Amino acid sequence: MIDTFLAQAVHLVFAAIWAGSVFYVAFVVLPLARDGAFNTTKPLEAISGKLTLISRTSALVLLLTGGYLAESHYTSETLVNTPNGHLVLSMVALWLLLAGLVEVGAKRLEAGLNGKKLREPAADALGLYRAAAIVGIALLVVGGAITSNLAAAL
């Protein structure tokens, strides 16, 4: 009981941190950088490095806690054959997509910053980060649909 509560609480906290930080970078920090609000590449390099750290840590924690929850709530049969099982499997697919988009976005941004450019790499990476932010929101919506047992109400 307490272990399920802990796994669920940690899962939810890291889901919020990951989705929230990607959203903030995509919709606040990068547009400012693209519009010339920063004078040097240093702040953006630090922001990108920290976001990568947050993203990797969250991806690992969500995989571990999500795996634990899946093991305690589902069997391989119910994962494949029930609507909530399908939602959990979509969560795993979206998890992979979110992690991939943040990694590729960071590589693209850092490559440009290493070339001592600022506005151009921010503009180039913006689309990837925005796609990642939308995937993060989709994950929270899928989580809400599981928690409220939406599939049973439809």
Count of residues engaged in binding ligand HEM, rule: CB under 6 A: 25
The answer to whether residue 62 forms part of the interface with ligand HEM (CB under 6 A) is: yes
- Cα(135)–Cα(36) distance, rounded to whole angstroms? 27
- 101 touching ligand HEM, by CB under 6 A: no
Q: Which is nearer to ligand HEM, 69 or 150 (CB)?
A: 69
Interface residue with ligand HEM, options 104, 123, 134, 140 (CB under 6 A): 140
The span from the CA of 112 to the CA of 132, in Å, is: 19
Residue 88 lies near ligand HEM (rule: CB under 6 A): yes
Kindly tell me the number of DSSP H helices and DSSP E strands found in the chain. Answer: 7, 0
Q: Which of 88, 57, 86, 55 is nearest to 71 (CA)?
A: 88
Side chain identity at residue 62, one-letter code? L
- Contact residues: ligand HEM, CB under 6 A: 8, 11-12, 15, 18-19, 62-63, 66-67, 69-70, 73, 84, 88, 91-92, 95, 98, 136, 139-140, 143, 146-147
